[in-house]
């Protein structure tokens, strides 16, 4: 007998409710207030300046899906999932929860139909500007997004280092490297190596702090600019983590050709990206692809699509290394 498929489908349909509930808990910093141990809903309401009854209803709903744990006396405690919402968590996701529940992001997803029917970015259509310009003009949103990207890079950096042998390189340029978390980790793992962190000047603000704290700033240059214009030349490896997926093919080719012009013939290009899996597999990547369609107009790609894209840009794809949920795609100048 076939089981009723409706409950599972209904859970998917109503998934937006959990997204928004986690977003509110992240904005209110509930997990940070629970860092020292369980607290009552009343205490948390005072700390977050919230209505006690409404906050209790929010927290008990999140406890029902495992984000918090509710005890009989209306006290709440962190679970392993809830701990990820703490600012100082070893596996932080709070900033991303803030981003995805924000009105500007949420509204764009509400216009997915436009993207599907036209092939256009819903965000661009709604706002008359791309998401990068929007975040530059709304500094709070841009700062939260940059913090989210740094958080999401954390565990991914270790996975990349485990997956790929960087030891043969002497100088690596991290193109679009943000606050430098991945480059920082690579330099710490390879004391002989020099690095260059390259991104837009506004993004790089404060990037030197962690590099200094971790003792690698003396081996790292921080350079501002646009990867559509030029990137620092002469290194033996050029790294881009989750950059190419933000762009459609023509823009992606333009970025890659700029890198190609800067690279010696012996250098290597390393793209850290998701790879679209075969049919019916790895839903996270396929929904990330929709996110690219809506927000940036970009896309996730298959291995074959990356190979074609690289060939158009003057590269040959040589090897692909699994790195947890992502892959390290290695290419050489052709």
- pLDDT tens-place values along the chain, 334 residues long: 568 999 999 999 999 999 999 999 999 999 999 999 999 999 999 999 999 999 999 999 999 999 999 998 899 999 999 999 999 999 999 999 999 999 999 999 999 999 999 999 999 999 999 999 999 999 999 989 988 988 887 668 899 999 999 999 999 999 999 888 899 999 999 999 999 999 999 888 878 888 898 899 999 999 999 999 999 999 999 999 999 999 999 999 999 999 999 999 999 999 999 999 999 999 999 999 999 999 999 999 999 999 999 999 999 999 999 999 999 999 999 9
Region of 2 (left: φ > 0; alpha: ψ -120 to 50; beta: rest) is beta
Q: Is 49 exposed, middle or buried (0-12, 13-18, 19+ CB in 10 A)?
A: exposed
Q: How many CB atoms lie within 10 A of CB 60?
A: 14
Q: What residues does each domain of the chain span?
A: 6-90, 152-276+296-333
**Residue 138: C-alpha distances to residues 27, 86, 87, 132, 199 (Å):** 17, 24, 22, 10, 19
d(CA 42, CA 34): 13
Residue 329: CA atoms inside 13 Å, Cβ hemisphere, count?
25
Residue numbers annotated as active site = 245
| pTM for this entry | 0.91
Query: Who's near 85: CB < 8 A, 6+ residues apart?
Result: 22, 25, 26, 30, 31, 32, 67, 92, 93, 94, 97
Q: Domain 152-276+296-333 falls in which CATH fold?
A: Rossmann fold (3.40.50)
Q: Is 279 exposed, middle or buried (0-12, 13-18, 19+ CB in 10 A)?
A: exposed
Q: Domain 6-90 falls in which CATH fold?
A: Arc Repressor Mutant, subunit A (1.10.10)
């Amino acid at each position: 007998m076939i089981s009723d498929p409706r409950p599972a489908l209904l859970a998917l349909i109503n998934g937006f409710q959990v997204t928004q509930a986690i977003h509110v808990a992240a904005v209110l910093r509930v997990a940070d207030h629970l860092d020292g141990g369980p607290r009552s809903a009343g205490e948390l309401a005072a700390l977050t300046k919230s209505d006690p009854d409404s906050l209790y209803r929010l927290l008990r709903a999140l406890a029902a899906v495992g984000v918090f744990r509710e005890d009989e006396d209306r006290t709440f405690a962190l679970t392993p999932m809830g701990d990820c919402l703490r600012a100082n968590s070893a596996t932080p996701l709070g900033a991303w929860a803030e981003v995805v529940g924000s009105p500007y992001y949420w509204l764009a997803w509400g216009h997915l139909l436009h993207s599907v029917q036209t092939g256009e970015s819903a965000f661009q259509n709604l706002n008359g500007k791309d998401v990068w310009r929007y975040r530059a003009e709304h500094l709070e949103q841009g700062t939260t997004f940059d913090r989210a990207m740094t958080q999401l890079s954390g565990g991914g950096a270790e996975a990349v280092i485990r997956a790929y042998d960087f030891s043969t390189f002497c100088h690596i340029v991290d193109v679009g490297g943000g606050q430098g978390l991945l480059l920082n980790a690579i330099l710490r793992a390879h004391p002989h190596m020099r690095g260059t962190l390259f991104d837009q000047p506004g993004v790089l603000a404060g990037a030197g702090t962690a590099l200094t704290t971790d003792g690698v700033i003396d081996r790292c240059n921080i350079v501002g600019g646009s990867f559509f214009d030029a990137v620092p030349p002469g290194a033996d490896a050029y790294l881009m983590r989750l950059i190419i997926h933000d762009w459609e093919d023509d823009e992606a080719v333009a970025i890659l050709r700029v890198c190609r012009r800067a690279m010696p013939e012996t250098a290597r290009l390393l793209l850290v990206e998701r790879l679209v899996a075969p049919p019916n597999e790895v839903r996270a990547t396929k929904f990330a692809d929709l996110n690219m369609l809506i927000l940036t107009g970009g896309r996730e790609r298959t291995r074959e699509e990356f190979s074609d894209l690289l060939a158009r840009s003057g590269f040959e794809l040589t090897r692909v290394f699994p790195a947890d949920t992502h892959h390290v795609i290695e290419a050489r100048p052709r």
